[in-house]
Amino acid sequence: MGLFKTIFISAAIYGAYKFLTEPDVLGNTRLDKIKEQMPELIEKAKLAKEDIWAGRMPQI
pLDDT at 53: 92
Q: Give pLDDT, residue 15.
A: 96
Domain that holds residue 8: 2-53
Cα–Cα distance, 54 to 16 (Å, whole number) = 37
Low-confidence ranges of the chain (pLDDT < 50): none
Report pLDDT for 57: 87
Within-domain flag for 58: no
Would you state the pLDDT for residue 58? 81
Count the domains in the chain.
Answer: 1
Q: Is residue 31 part of a domain?
A: yes
pLDDT value of residue 16: 95
Does 49 fall in a domain?
yes
Strands in 1-60 per DSSP E: none
